[in-house]
Amino acid sequence: MKKLIRTGLLTSCLFATTMSQAAILGLDLIETGDDAVADISSVFNSTDIMVVSGSEVFSGAQGTDIGAQSAIFSGVDITDGTTSLQLNEGFLLTTGSAASVGTTNTANNVSVNLGASGDADLEALATANGLNSNISNVNFFSFDFTLSAGLNAITLDFLFGTEEFPTQSVTDILGVFVDGVNFAFFADGSLVNNNGNPANFNNNAFGTAVPFDVEYNGLSDVLSVVGLVDETRTTHTLKIAIADTSDTIFDSGLFVGNLGATTATVGGIDPTQPVNAPATFLLMTVFGLFVYGRSKHVK
């Protein structure tokens, strides 16, 4: 059962209107016995996306604590004191453990081997982009849907974090597939992975003097995806997936939020699209400010 618990911040301030520090808020691991489909679906708020009941598919390890590959969260506010990376509530898919995201970078290589091997969509994407198609530690969520009249595209925001950056020659891979087509790329048009332009990442390498408050060595900006549907179809499919290629070490995570729908003529990444900051999670009392989040296990 989910419950409201304190997640970690106590200040002596008596008044605040915005969040001053946070990291991953309300991290709720999807563990043994949890309904992964219901948990992930609970963070969808769009009334323009009608999910076909029973079409939802979740793939990922559902052990306890470190054995949980996925999670939902109530917000993301990752910062190094200069740059802030923010998302509203959403879900986390990983190539390792969702419990490993942490609140600071504690090691160069965090690796947990939990997931299944093989995924046709990611294998095809890897092959098409010259990457090793040996896929493992697969974690994905998919569903069929229809859109409100006049709309022809899915929108969502994502943040990619990886231990592979900046030292590894192999890479993890992710895809946001709408009707079988991947629309997740960096703003320069390259596939989201650590082998391309290092400027696509915010450096959080282990030992960085002022690190971001998360484990991953490299972090993308928060990127907004527009995924065009195939308008010859009456029912569409969205699949969001991440996996290892080549090996099962140096984990990565994909934070996803703000799922919606729109009308568009071009799909892909819109780096100019503003991303809403997380809702305020501060509860004021005369004794200070407490941060609360819906969670069973807060990491």
227: alpha, beta or left? (left if phi > 0; alpha if psi -120 to 50): beta
Model pLDDT, residue 271: 57
Residue 107 has pLDDT above 70, yes or no: yes
Q: What is the DSSP letter of 39?
A: H
Structure confidence by residue, pLDDT tens digits, 189-247: 999 988 888 999 999 999 999 899 999 999 999 999 999 999 999 999 999 999 999 99
Residue 28, in any domain of the structure: no
Residue 119, in any domain of the structure: yes
Structure confidence by residue, pLDDT tens digits, 65-106: 999 999 999 999 999 999 999 999 999 999 999 999 998 899
Mean of all residue pLDDT scores within the chain = 85
Domain containing 161 equals 33-271
Residue 160, in any domain of the structure: yes
Higher pLDDT, 10 or 264: 264
Of 207, 147, 140, 209, the closest CA to residue 177 belongs to 140
Q: Is 128 exposed, middle or buried (0-12, 13-18, 19+ CB in 10 A)?
A: exposed
Model pLDDT, residue 280: 30
pLDDT band at 7 (very low <50, low <70, confident <90, very high): very low
Radius of gyration of the chain (CA): 18
Over residues 124-136, mean pLDDT: 94
**Letter for the amino acid at 124?**
A
pTM of the shown model? 0.84
What residues contact 155, with CB distance under 8 A and at least 6 apart? Answer: 224, 225, 226, 227, 258, 259, 260, 261, 262
Residue 297, in any domain of the structure: no
Residue 254, in any domain of the structure: yes
CB count, 10 Å around CB of 56?
Answer: 17
State how far Cα 25 lies from the chain centre: 13
Over residues 251-259, mean pLDDT: 97
Alpha helices in 76-185 (DSSP H): 120-128
**Strand ranges, E, within 133-221:** 135-147, 153-162, 172-178, 181-182, 202-203, 218-219
Structure confidence by residue, pLDDT tens digits, 17-65: 333 345 899 999 999 999 999 999 999 989 999 999 999 999 999 999 9
Of 101, 278, 131, the closest CA to residue 204 belongs to 101
Residue 13, in any domain of the structure: no
Residue 9 has pLDDT above 70, yes or no: no
Residue 214, in any domain of the structure: yes
Model pLDDT, residue 290: 30
Which secondary-structure segment (H or E) carries 36?
helix 36-41
Domain count of the fold of the chain: 1
Residue 292, in any domain of the structure: no
Are 144 and 237 a contacting pair, CB within 8 Å?
Answer: yes
Polymer length of the chain: 299
Model pLDDT, residue 170: 80
